[in-house]
Amino acid sequence: MQSKIFSVNKTLNVGGKLIDLSEPRVMGILNVTPDSFYDGFKYGDETSILKQVEKMVSEGADFIDVGGYSTRPGAEDISQEEELSRVMPAIKLITKKFPDTIVSIDTFRARVAKQAVEAGASLINDISGGDLDKDMFDTVASLQIPYIIMHMKGTPQTMTQEATYENLIKEIIDSFHQKIFKLHGLGVKDTLVDPGFGFAKTAQQNFELLNQLDRFHILEKPLLVGLSRKSMIWRTLKTNPESALNGTTVLNTIALIKGASLLRVHDVRQAKEAIQLVNQIQPVIGWPPL
């Protein structure tokens, strides 16, 4: 039966291979950083990287997102050389050992993105949506690969002071409209949008964003949602990131019902299960909901 929740015209051209997003997919997170909010220090050598990637792939990850720059609030700013020294070995290792796996580079720097793609990455995930590197859009256009535009204000170091909006949803959608128009003008064919949960947004704003997630379908682009173990979950529940898996699954389920196409997660199996179960109620719910 054709999905009634998820928009059907959602495909990505990844290295000549068409990826169908009419049913949601999962992006597994691989942070090769010492200071990420949840899994810092976990994946600093070849053995731990390969073990984690194997686990995520075996559980059904469609993408592996490699990041070498911690974007938690107040994270240390590192040089491009340091970022490259973290991500390049990991990307080369993954593409060699798991050649059929789609690797995404999580970076806001055009130089890092370019070298990562040359090493085997085939998707760019930019938390700044081009705002922190003026060369990013031109680089994406020259590489001709899919690009994830995330919404953020300021930098990882300043974003907690930037959570001020007159109309949260309208301002984010307007920002996406402008960037998509510019990217289309440069010849970028495949873009996804990520509303940026936790980036320059308070907990209350994050929940408002989730509640109105379906409004982003006006952009006619696949929606990536990154809620995994974020502070909006564990602070609301008065716990910690390690205990936030159940809360993550609850919010991912809501995001799926509202039409998310891609879940970016630390825990792949639980995300795949959420997708499988939500698919069972499609004929009941329908899309958009009444």
Q: Which residues are catalytic?
A: 230, 264
Q: How far apart are the first and last CA of the chain?
A: 20
Half-sphere exposure of 104 (CA within 13 A, CB side): 26
DSSP string, 63-95: EEEEE-S--STTPPP--HHHHHHHHHHHHHHHH
Pairwise CA distance, residues 152 & 142, whole Å: 24
Residue with tokens 């690969």: 145
H or E segment at 54?
helix 46-58
Cα 253 from chain centroid (whole Å): 16
- Structural contact between residues 224 and 29, judged by C-beta atoms closer than 8 angstroms: no
Pairwise CA distance, residues 181 & 128, whole Å: 16
| Token representation of residue 11 | 């495909």
